Amino acid sequence: MTYRIDALQYANWNEKIFRQMREGGLDAVHVTIAYHESFRETVSNIEKWNIWFENHPDLIMPGRAAADVAKARESGRTAIFFGFQNPSPIEDDIGLVEILHTLGARFMQLSYNNQSLLATGCYEDEDPGITRMGRQVIAEMNRVGMVVDMSHSADRSTLEAIEISSRPIAITHANPHSWAPALRNKKDDVLKALAGSGGMLGLSLYPHHLKNKSACTLEDFCQMAARTADLIGPEHLGIGSDLCQDQPDSVVEWMRTGRWTKQIDYGEGSAAVPGFPDMPDWFRDNRDFVNLETGLMAVGFNPAEVAGIMGDNWHRFFDKGFGPHQPIGD
């Protein structure tokens, strides 16, 4: 069985997008439900998803374990797995790790662009590595089965998280820095350490992470995938599209500035281009996953490797990362 999984989306969710997931054949999507939200605000976002699950039982279902991906496939739906891009939902409270796992969270970034209580973000000048609380929280995430995600973290923090975590970690959405030198993209030594410990890299389609940004070609993207496979092995690659479909630019402002500054912070953008960039024309939305599959074949990946990158590698990782868990409704 081959699955199709996207390990990161943050769309302006509605029925149209859920239908596009079905058209695109997505069996599972890891969705961001918190950027800077507190615990209580995160719970409100889970409530929104509960309403979508209630209203669209033919299109989507809650994802808690790898087995839910198969269940979604069998019933023609997309399994939705929750994650956070910042540890803000656990606030300063390690006990919230288990609470949020019980509520469905399966991924948590230890930091977004800035310093967090746990780790350093890629926009800080200095990276002291994992903090005292960070070490405690990684152990707790390992215990309950919540995956450490270092997509937006700085290099030293990422390397230390790989070292400290007793379970493989993920970089759900980023590309190699050698291909596109965005601050967020990952250096070769980080990618090698990630794969060396059994971790996964989700290749990103967000234009600020692409060579030539919105003008990046499918071939160039897939050749980058091939070179990355040469570096760390194709079995450690997946897709983490970072699709932010139909979001207003106010959302990217929120992502960048949250509540931490009264000034404007353009993040990966600039004063001239402050908003969301246009997606490449070969990856507009969930319906275009087939283009990735075609493109990967064209650059020489064999069918098993393509199946791995399109979803089977994430499925295997989900199976190991989320631990023993009784799927809801079973």
**Residue 97: φ, ψ to 5°:** -60, -50
Closer residue to a second copy, CB minimum distance, 250 or 263: 263
- Of the candidate spans 111-119, 144-152, 203-211, 310-318, the one that interacts with a second copy by CB under 8 A turns out to be 111-119
Closer residue to a second copy, CB minimum distance, 115 or 286: 115
DSSP state of 204: P
Distance CA 146, CA 84 (A): 11
Closer residue to a second copy, CB minimum distance, 94 or 251: 94
Residue that the structure tokens 């050749």 belong to: 223
Taking the complex as a whole, the smallest distance from the CB of residue 89 to a second copy amounts, in Å, to 11
Structural contact between residues 224 and 177, judged by C-beta atoms closer than 8 angstroms: no
State which amino acid sits at residue 139: A
Task: Count residues near a second copy (CB under 8 A).
Answer: 31
Q: Which of 91, 249, 278, 281 binds a second copy (CB under 8 A)?
A: 91
SS3 content of the chain, % helix, strand, coil (to 5): 45, 15, 45
State which amino acid sits at residue 180: A
Q: Which of residues 6-35 bind a second copy (CB under 8 A)?
A: none
* Site for a second copy contains 38 (CB under 8 A): yes
Structural contact between residues 3 and 311, judged by C-beta atoms closer than 8 angstroms: yes
For the record, the structure tokens of 257 come out as: 């500035």
- Of the candidate spans 85-93, 208-216, 218-226, 266-274, the one that interacts with a second copy by CB under 8 A turns out to be 85-93
* Site for a second copy contains 253 (CB under 8 A): no
Q: Which of residues 123-142 bind a second copy (CB under 8 A)?
A: 123-129, 131-133, 136, 140
Closer residue to a second copy, CB minimum distance, 42 or 313: 42
What SS3 state is found at 233?
coil
Closer residue to a second copy, CB minimum distance, 70 or 133: 133
For the record, the structure tokens of 156 come out as: 């030293």
Closer residue to a second copy, CB minimum distance, 252 or 292: 252
Mask: binding to a second copy, 45-84, rule CB under 8 A, as x and -? ----------------------------------------
State which amino acid sits at residue 147: V
Q: Which of 9, 114, 172, 228 binds a second copy (CB under 8 A)?
A: 114
Taking the complex as a whole, the smallest distance from the CB of residue 201 to a second copy amounts, in Å, to 26
- Of the candidate spans 91-99, 166-174, 180-188, 233-241, the one that interacts with a second copy by CB under 8 A turns out to be 91-99
- Number of helices (H), then strands (E), in the chain: 12, 9
Query: HSE (CB half, 13 Å, CA atoms) of 114?
Result: 15
- Name, in order, each residue with C-beta under 8 angstroms of 150's C-beta and a sequence gap of 6 or more: 109, 110, 111, 119, 157, 158, 161, 162, 169, 170, 171
Distance CA 258, CA 124 (A): 16
For the record, the structure tokens of 323 come out as: 């631990």
Distance CA 45, CA 83 (A): 11
Q: Which of residues 255-294 bind a second copy (CB under 8 A)?
A: 258-263
Closer residue to a second copy, CB minimum distance, 65 or 108: 108
List of residues contacting a second copy (CB under 8 A): 36, 38, 88, 91-95, 114-117, 120, 123-129, 131-133, 136, 140, 258-263
